[in-house]
Structure 1
Amino acid sequence: MRKIVVHMMLSLDGYFEGPDHDLSWHRVDEELHAHFNEQLATQSAFLEGRVSYELMETFWPTADQNPDHPPTMREFAGIWRAVPKIVFSRTLQQVGPNASLRTEVDADEIRALKQQPGGDMTLGGVDLVETFRRMDLVDEYRLYVNPVVIGRGRRLFETADDPTDLELVENRRFGNGVVLLRYAVRRAQVSTSSG
């Protein structure tokens, strides 16, 4: 079964972006970018909210045409183009190549997608992440904690109002001080035995 994986950069104090959508504090060097490429190249789909999709789509489709970009950035441009995208938006009228548009999250459709063969699916966009979390559709969180406190901005779990039980399944420190904390969502086991 394919998993839905949240792949998110965070500050030590839990923000995914600073004021005015500031991401300048993200510490992405060649080692970390190579790791991202390795992880994301195996994905069967990118599930994106409108803001995340538009941010990515304005830069990545042609990023490999700039010879000044490092090899890992040029490599990711190809990954971005190759991996199918499902974009969730009520305002977009169309999306780019290799992308399809949904106006809302249909939990049954997502569960059916998870049953198909192939690589896991990466979930992007904090509002979309919260929608999937509330519907119990997220299977794993890959949180990349940056060694910086930014003090204000938007938090990943800002609107969460009920607990999600997690199990730490991996941690890894990168040379630039970023730490990966990979959590699997713990779900209650359904008993199939009859009494």
Structure 2
Amino acid sequence: MRKIVVQMMLSLDGYFEGPDHDLSWHRVDEELHGHFNEHLATMSAFLEGRVTYELMEAVWPTADQDPDLPPVMHEFAGIWRSVPKIVFSRTLQQVGPNASLRTAVDPDQIRALKDQPGGDMTLGGADLVETFRRLDLVDEYRLYVNPVVVGRGRQLFGTADSPTDLELVETRRFGNGVVLLRHAVRRSQDPGT
């Protein structure tokens, strides 16, 4: 069964973006970007909300044509183009190549996707993450905690209204001080199994 994996950068105080959508405090260097590439290249799909999709689509389809960008960014441009994308939006009318559009999150359709063979799927976009979390569709969180306190902005779990039980399965410290906290979602097992 394929897993749905949330991969997000966070501040120490739990923000994924600062005021006015500021991401300048994200500490992505070549080592961390290489790690992202290694992980994301194995994905069978990127599941994204409209905002995340539009931000990514504005840069990555042609980023490897810029000779001034480092090789890890050129590599990610190829990953972006090759991995299929499923975009969730009620306002977009069309999406680019290698992408499909859905107007709502249907839990049965998502579970059917998870039952298909292939690599895991990564989930992006804070609102979409919260919808998937609320519907118990997320299997793993890969949270990259940056050594910075932002103080205000948007928190990843700021609207969560119920607990999600997690198990820490991996930690890793990168040279730039970012720490990966990888958690699997714990689900109650049916007593009959």
TM-score by structure 1 length? 0.98
**CA displacement, residues 100-137 of structure 1 (integer Å, 9 cap, x when unaligned):** 00000000000000000000000000000000000000
Post-superposition shift, 1:191?
Answer: 1.8
Partner amino acid for 1:183?
H
2:22 aligned residue: 22
Post-superposition shift, 1:84?
Answer: 0.2
Post-superposition shift, 1:150?
Answer: 0.7
1:177 aligned residue: 177
What is the DSSP-based 3-state SS (H/G/I as helix, E as strand, rest coil) of the residue aligned with 2:61?
helix
2:116 aligned residue: 116
2:45 aligned residue: 45
TM-score by structure 2 length? 0.99
| Matched positions, count | 193
1:126 aligned residue: 126
2:7 aligned residue: 7
Separation in 2, partners of 1:20, 1:102: 28
What is the DSSP-based 3-state SS (H/G/I as helix, E as strand, rest coil) of the residue aligned with 1:132?
helix
Separation in 2, partners of 1:66, 1:164: 42
| Consecutive unaligned residues in structure 1, runs of 5 or more | none
**CA displacement, residues 32-73 of structure 1 (integer Å, 9 cap, x when unaligned):** 000000000000000000000000000011000000000000
Separation in 2, partners of 1:190, 1:84: 34
Deviating above 3 A after TM superposition, structure 1's stretches of 4 or more consecutive aligned residues are: none
- Is 1:137 aligned to 2:130, yes or no? no
Post-superposition shift, 1:172?
Answer: 0.2
What is the DSSP-based 3-state SS (H/G/I as helix, E as strand, rest coil) of the residue aligned with 2:55?
helix
Percent of paired sites with the same residue: 85
1:97 aligned residue: 97
2:148 aligned residue: 148
Partner amino acid for 1:176?
N
Post-superposition shift, 1:29?
Answer: 0.3
Separation in 2, partners of 1:191, 1:38: 38
What is the DSSP-based 3-state SS (H/G/I as helix, E as strand, rest coil) of the residue aligned with 2:93?
coil
| Consecutive unaligned residues in structure 2, runs of 5 or more | none
Partner amino acid for 2:61?
P
